[in-house]
Amino acid sequence: MTLYDIIFYLFAVITIASAFVVVTTRNVIYSGFTLLFTFFGVAGIYVLLGADFLAIVQIMVYVGGILILILFGVMLTNKITDVDIRTGTIHLLPAAIGVGILFGALTSVMVWTDWKTEPVELPITTTYAIGKELLTNYVLIFELLGILLLVVLIGAASIARSDKE
């Protein structure tokens, strides 16, 4: 049990536990805020995997952007003046069975497959490597993503616009 393992288990537990809370709690606000912990947990796992740039991006984009958006969505679409915002659930039993089997199948695949592991030497800081790749091999995708974000910006604004006509 090295330190690496302990920290891994810690972050894994945080992530899984908060994810579990996200999907089971009836309270929308609780669900939203617990998602925050899930993202943090995932960022920690990224660090453990040596993806430092990615971890920071995760926190910045997910937590700083997407989570805020989700919280805004929650607040704008529920009668927030109620003290306790509860939502219902559906399809509990079939979902549980199906998901359980799916999980069983996936996990068994992952565990019993003999992965060919060739540990690759990752750079210590991945920022430089990522940047270099982005602007050489993946430059097209990079540019397209920019355009995509522009389109999303315009689109989201136009969809959410209230029609005053």
Partner 1 sequence: MTESVLSTLSLIILFLPLLGFTVVILLGKRFPKLYLFEVAILTIAFILSVVVMYSKLAYYLNSDIISSFNWITIGAAPLAGVINIELGIKIDNVTVIMLFVVNLISMLVHIFSIEYMHGDQRYTRYFANLGLFTFSMLGIVLTHNLLMMYIFWELVGLSSYLLIGHWYEKKSAADAAKKAFIVNRIGDIGMFIGILILFTHYKTFTFDTIFAQISQGNIPFNSEAWLTAAGILVFMGAVGKSAQFPLHVWLPDAMEGPTPVSALIHAATMVAAGVYLVTRIFVMLTADAMLVIAVVGAFTSLVAATIALTQNDIKKVLAYSTVSQLGYMIMSLGVGAYVFAFFHLVTHAFFKACLFLGAGSVIHAMHHEQDIRNMGGLRKKLPLTYATFLISTIAISGIPLTSGFLSKDGILAGTLAFGKLTGHWLIPIMGFTVAAMTAFYMFRLVIMTFHGEPRDHHKYDHAHESPWVMVGPLVVLAALSIFIWYTPNPLSPDAGWFMKEWVKTPSTVVPESSRFEFMQSASHETEVHGEVVHSPLYTETMHWAHYPAMGMSILLAGLGILFAFLFYQWKKINADNLATKIKPLYNFSLNKWYLDEAYDATAISGTLNFSKILSWFDNKIVDGAVNGAAWLGRFISSLSGLFDTFVVDGLVNFTAFFSGFIGLAFRKLQTGKVQTYIVFVVFAVIILLLFFKPF
Partner 2 sequence: MAQVGLTHFLVVSSILFSLGIYGIITRKNAVMVLMGIELILNSANINFVAFSKYGNLGINGQIVALFVIVLAAAEAAIALAIVLNIYKTYANVNVDEIDHLKD
Dihedral sign for Cα 97, 102, 103, 104, please: positive
Nearest approach in angstroms of CB 106 to partner 1 is 9
The residue count for binding partner 2 (CB under 8 A) is 84
Residues 6+ apart with CB under 8 A from 37: 14, 15, 18
Binding of residue 103 to partner 2 (CB under 8 A)? yes
Q: Considering the rule CB under 8 A, would residue 102 count as an interface residue with partner 1?
A: yes
Q: Cβ(12)–Cβ(47) under 8 Å?
A: no
Q: How many residues in total does the chain contain?
A: 165
Convert residues 111-130 into a mask of x (bound to partner 1 by CB under 8 A) and - (unbound).
-xx-----------------
SS3 85: coil
Say which amino acid occupies 104: G
Determine, following the binding rule CB under 8 A, whether residue 98 of this chain makes contact with partner 1: yes
Q: How far apart are CA 13 and CA 135, in angstroms?
A: 37
Q: How far is the CB of 92 from partner 2 (least distance, A)?
A: 6
- 49 interacts with, out of partner 1, partner 2, none, CB within 5 to 8 A per kind: partner 2
Interface residues with partner 1 (CB under 8 A)? 90-91, 94-95, 98-99, 101-102, 105, 108-109, 112-113
